[in-house]
Structure 1
């Protein structure tokens, strides 16, 4: 669903981000009401215990999600509300992020969207995960155009900055940088510095994601030098293409997967 249009640079954000908190509180309140109604029935002790646990869980989730919190491990809705309230730049980034995601679900590729959407002003705080996501989307725009060097610069700028970014974003960026290295210079020292045990575990855990298929394929060809494994990854990816719900992203990633296969064919790597 597309977000509402900006009005004087402002995007409605409060109720969207309060949704989780409201649901958790609602669950707790309903559980309390059920508990009061069934308290006199001793044979419903299991139900009472369940309602009590549900009440505590609901309040706990509402508090932990509603009180602003941010670390390199996670960020909650309370933090988003606070940062959106403070900054019009974050509000615009938030709008662009939601609109881009909605259009990609509908089948639009990010490379078909205006590049200007993803340009952040110089004063933008990249430690804010919403702004950081826009910088990544800028890199993704270049990536969709197969302009990997420009995409690499966007990703490295974010990684090499002094700001703290979410661990999941950092790992995603490292995955992309590893892919760029595998389909370009293939420098052993760079590959070794990127392809750590931690990143290997992350790639394995996220192997079902659409953007991991071309990376796993490239790793199988260059690092593992296992063409049979690479062909299985390639075939399996195409067999599951329709299972990826973000159609625009899927089209982009499968084009890159095909480009990767042709790149290795042209390099005669697949003939070895």
Structure 2
């Protein structure tokens, strides 16, 4: 208990320091007050007022992140809809709003390394001609609009605590603008500006984006990968494994083979992708490892399966996403069925996924996973009489 209390106090002190630093930085950026003048102002205050000012900065940070993430994704949504896209889903952190048979529903879903995502289906035009600039830059434009609207209030407010709160809020908004508006990659994931530039000059990536948007929309609406046209996922030439859009299509093609239960073909497709893991962004590498583990189990490559499942980081990844991605439950089902040879445990996982099937975001995926698990369990029972 004492240890937890000390940790809480330590984090509170860190928060106070962060609040002060952000306030000082923001005031230097957005006003004509110097650091020295700000420090002299702090010295003139009593400790209680200094602490209250720091808490204002911390409160602004806590409020700004979710609010500005919402603003950012709303910008993508508005600009996408104005460009002719169709609404599919809107996610802030793990809360996702989807259109389900004409009604809006809230489900849970998350992607590592992202605070939100606005998923739209592209307009009905040739893949190489879908509009992307406004869709990609809509989030940054929304954050810029907030900055321009709130900045005048910084000079209008007279309350020092309100000034600190507004300063930190604007500083966080500026951070959103920079990390999304300056072309860069973070954790292997291209940001909005990077995507906007790449898609203007790379027709293959533009086509890959169109395929992924269409396929993801169909999966959310309940269409299984095996029922999508094969020619969507066939590409000419070598894959640029540092290009997340091209790798994404290759993963969809390999995933379609899993849904078709073409185990050996699916295994070699994933093995080929895994051979380029140093070039592929970490999130996709994790997904490849998961499916490679599943396919190693299904095809009897137990040594490889034990090696992959022996990774603490991979087991942690599976555990973190099993409640929101049915494919992770399918993987644990295969571990129970083939590695642990516990048919009862495998059947329990199958029943659990079936009972929660409507809660999953990717309805086409859960249909596929349930069918695969039922098929595998039936085959094992048949072999064992």
TM-score normalised by the chain length of structure 1: 0.88
Supply the distance in 2 between the matched residues of 1:257 and 1:46 (Cα, whole angstroms).
Answer: 58
Stretches of structure 2 that go unaligned for 5 or more consecutive residues are 1-85, 87-120
- Residue-by-residue CA offset, 1:243-267 (whole Å, 9 max, x unaligned): 0122222211211121232233234
Higher normalized strand content (fraction of residues): 2
Q: Deviations over 1:59-110 (max 9, x none)?
A: 1111111222225543312221222122100011111111111122222222
- Larger CA deviation: 231-240 vs 168-177: 231-240
Larger Rg: 2
Distance 1:123 1:214, change over 3 A: closer
2:169 counterpart (25, 31, 54): 54
The Cα offsets for residues 119-141 of structure 1, whole Å up to 9 and x where unpaired, read as: 11114423200000000111122
Higher relative contact order (CA 8 A, sep 6+): 1
Segment drifting more, 110-119 vs 242-251: 242-251
Tell me: CA distance 1:174–1:12, structure 2 relative to 1, closer, same or farther (3 Å): same
Stretch deviating more after TM superposition (126-135 or 66-75): 66-75
SS in 2 for 1:9: helix
- Match status 1:190 vs 2:190: no
Aligned equivalent of 1:240: 356
For residue 8 of structure 1, report the CA deviation from its aligned partner: 7.9
- Whether contact under 8 Å (1:72, 1:165) holds in the other structure is no
- Which residue does the alignment assign to 1:24? 143
Match of 2:227 in 1: 112
Equivalent residue runs for 1:61-72 within 5 Å: 61-70=176-185, 72=187
Question: What RMSD in Å do the two structures reach over aligned CA positions?
Answer: 2.2
Q: Contact 1:72–1:164 (CA<8 Å) still a contact in 2?
A: no
Shift of 1:193: 2.2
Match of 1:35 in 2: 154
Q: Compared with structure 1, are the counterparts of its residues 101 and 173 closer, same or farther at alpha carbon in structure 2 (3 Å cutoff)?
A: same
CA distance in 2, matches of 1:57, 1:70: 19
Q: Is the 8 A contact 1:118 1:138 kept in 2?
A: yes
Q: What aligned pairs does 1:150-189 form with structure 2 within 5 A after superposition?
A: 150-161=265-276, 164-187=279-302, 189=303
- Preserved CA contact (<8 Å) 2:264 2:299: no
Candidates 214, 233, 239, aligned match of 2:330 = 214
Gaps in structure 1 of 5+ consecutive residues: none
Contact 1:28 1:54 in 2 (8 A): no
Asked whether the equivalents of residues 178 and 191 of structure 1 are also in contact (C-alpha less than 8 Å), the reply is: yes
1:199 corresponds, among 302, 305, 314, to: 314
Structure-2 change in CA distance of 1:47 and 1:15 (3 Å): same
CA drift at 1:14 = 0.7
Q: CA deviation at 1:34?
A: 3.6
Q: Which of the numbers 96, 110, 130 marks the counterpart of 1:11?
A: 130
Quick check: 1:213–1:257 contact (8 Å CA) kept in 2?
no
**Could you tell me the TM-score, scaled by structure 2's length?**
0.64
Kindly report which structure 2 residues correspond to 1:122-137, keeping only aligned pairs within 5 A, or say none: 122-137=237-252
Query: Could you tell which deviates more after superposition, 246-255 or 222-231?
Result: 222-231
Question: How big is the shift at 1:30?
Answer: 3.1
Deviation per residue, 1:21-66 (Å, 9 max, x gap): 12222332333244344x13x2xx4433222111111111111112
1:140 to 255, 263, 280: 255
Displacement of 1:228 in angstroms is 4.9
